[in-house]
Amino acid sequence: MFFNPEIETLPLDKLRKLQSQRLHWLVNYMYQKIPFYKQLFDEKGIEPKSINDIQDIAQLPFTRKEDLRNHYPFGLFAVPREELARIHASSGTTGKPTVVGYTKKDLQIFGEVNARSLAAAGARPGMMLHNAYGYGLFTGGLGMHIGAETLGMSVIPVSGGMTDRQLMILQDFQPDVICCTPSYAQRLAEEIGNRGIDLESLRLKYGVLGAEPWTEAIRVDVQNRLKIKASNIYGLSEIIGPGVSQEAVEERGTGSHVWEDHFFPEVVDPDTGDPLPEGKEGVLVFTTLTKEAFPVLRYWTNDICSLNYDSNSQRTHIKMSAIKGRADDMLIIRGVNLFHTQVEELIQEIPELAAHYQLIVSREKTMDTLEVKVELEPNVQESSDLKLQLGNHLMKKMKDNIGVSARVEILGHASIPRSEGGKLKRIVDKREM
């Protein structure tokens, strides 16, 4: 089901026209309203009136997290505080949070893109949403909330954590859809199993999971254990929050549609900033085409993925591949670059191993070393021989597929920390300790 069929299926030439008009509006608006952008454009000799085509975007400068931090908290807002309707902040995973603002119209857009996302994920008006994203400064909870209300669902604003209460609500209120981080969905699924709760007694059909990188390994785990269809939602507070892109439930595994009438995506070379063609992996960059309070131009997300149009899809908007990781989460182990999601994919290929793992990076003398800890599937009979054999198997796979030498330790069930409700840290960096 489409929430906004006309826009979601808009032919590409019309989409380009709309984006071009909106980019023209945006650069002129930024020039007038935000001294930082005025100065930047003047320095670079950019004449906002001459930006008339979405293709012109490649001439425009990037905005980086550092620019946001330098103008903390409200320095890049384009409206006076009286016109603000809401403030949020990034969760601060990589340092001091960045603060973002919304006008009433921005909140309408926030509702619209999340209504589209929920509908693409399988949700329908009249269904009930168990919203286990955190409520608060983090955009996840309130972003999904406004989307569900816009779609015409009822919302249970559970927020993250307090797993006992989550399980009670899942059983007693019978929600149809759940949204949370994939790692918290794993945790809930596991607790349901541990407590012998009959899945048939639940009504859950769909999961809308995001806010952290995840691969098919976790999708399989969560779908099997919860008997739901789980799709990916992506977003970041600097752009709006959740609902920047969404995977269609019937096209799971083929990428997430970026709602590009509002958020124009590019993938660029991490070193040169040059735009990369479709299918090439690089850093994802977004321009907000319609936002009023906190518009950003070519925001450098640091997230690594590729973009692709999918002519088999009814929705015309471009698809982004699952995020491999953030550029600053990339590990470099003796010259080999890797993301934890690459290890997660290999774990999935070994049926005895569970999608519960941790990567530990340490420094021995001047060398960085990697240790991978993975759990056995709970139904696998533990033995030290088996653990050794599986450990060697994964170690070899990592050497063959990623090119990295790592120590691998296979652990029994429930040895690795689970999500307490939000984003789970799967990398332990002992070099910083």
Shorter beta-carbon distance to ligand ADP: residue 15 or 233: 233
The site map against ligand ADP for 141-180 (x = CB under 6 A) is: ----------------------------------------
**Residue 331 Cα distances to 216, 271, 328, 370, angstroms:** 21, 17, 8, 9
Q: Does the footprint of ligand ADP cover residue 231 (CB under 6 A)?
A: no
Query: Which range in 205-213, 218-226, 313-321, 373-381 contacts ligand ADP by CB under 6 A?
Result: 205-213
Shorter beta-carbon distance to ligand ADP: residue 34 or 239: 239
DSSP calls for 369-390: EEEEEEEEPTTSPP-HHHHHHH
**Residue 354 Cα distances to 186, 216, 397, angstroms:** 11, 12, 16
Shorter beta-carbon distance to ligand ADP: residue 245 or 316: 245
Q: Which amino acid is at 229?
A: K
d(C-alpha 311, C-alpha 308), whole Å: 10
Shorter beta-carbon distance to ligand ADP: residue 251 or 303: 303
Q: What is the dihedral of CA 327, 333, 337, 342, to 10 degrees?
A: -90
* Least distance to ligand ADP, CB of residue 76, Å: 16
One residue of 41, 77, 234, 259 binding ligand ADP per CB under 6 A:
234
Q: Does the footprint of ligand ADP cover residue 211 (CB under 6 A)?
A: yes
d(C-alpha 302, C-alpha 238), whole Å: 12
Shorter beta-carbon distance to ligand ADP: residue 35 or 92: 92
Non-local CB neighbours of 37 within 8 Å, separated by 6+ positions = 27, 30, 31, 297
CB-count burial class (<10 Å; 0-12, 13-18, 19+) for 366: exposed
Q: Which of residues 322-341 bind ligand ADP (CB under 6 A)?
A: 323, 326
- Count of residues in contact with ligand ADP, rule CB under 6 A: 19
Shorter beta-carbon distance to ligand ADP: residue 209 or 411: 209
* Least distance to ligand ADP, CB of residue 355, Å: 15
Query: Which range in 116-124, 155-163, 228-236, 289-297 contacts ligand ADP by CB under 6 A?
Result: 228-236
The site map against ligand ADP for 84-123 (x = CB under 6 A) is: ------xxxx------------------------------
Buried b (16+ CB within 10 A) or exposed e, 66-100: ebbeebebbebbbbeeeebebbbbbbeeeeebbbb
* Least distance to ligand ADP, CB of residue 233, Å: 6
d(C-alpha 401, C-alpha 205), whole Å: 35
Secondary structure of residue 177 in the 3-state scheme:
strand
**DSSP state, 322?**
P
The site map against ligand ADP for 262-301 (x = CB under 6 A) is: ---------------------------------------x
Q: Does the footprint of ligand ADP cover residue 232 (CB under 6 A)?
A: yes
CA nearest to 242, candidates 326, 128, 116, 154: 116
* Least distance to ligand ADP, CB of residue 47, Å: 32
Non-local CB neighbours of 385 within 8 Å, separated by 6+ positions = none
Query: Which range in 122-130, 196-204, 227-235, 354-362 contacts ligand ADP by CB under 6 A?
Result: 227-235
Query: Which range in 1-9, 47-55, 233-241, 389-397 contacts ligand ADP by CB under 6 A?
Result: 233-241
Shorter beta-carbon distance to ligand ADP: residue 236 or 343: 236
* Least distance to ligand ADP, CB of residue 203, Å: 25
Shorter beta-carbon distance to ligand ADP: residue 236 or 338: 236
d(C-alpha 300, C-alpha 302), whole Å: 6
Query: Which range in 22-30, 210-218, 309-317, 374-382 contacts ligand ADP by CB under 6 A?
Result: 210-218
Shorter beta-carbon distance to ligand ADP: residue 10 or 144: 144
DSSP calls for 40-72: HHHHTT--GGG--SGGGGGGSPPB-HHHHHHTT
CA nearest to 386, candidates 350, 341, 340: 350
Which residues are near ligand ADP by CB under 6 A?
A: 90-93, 138, 210-213, 232-237, 301, 303, 323, 326
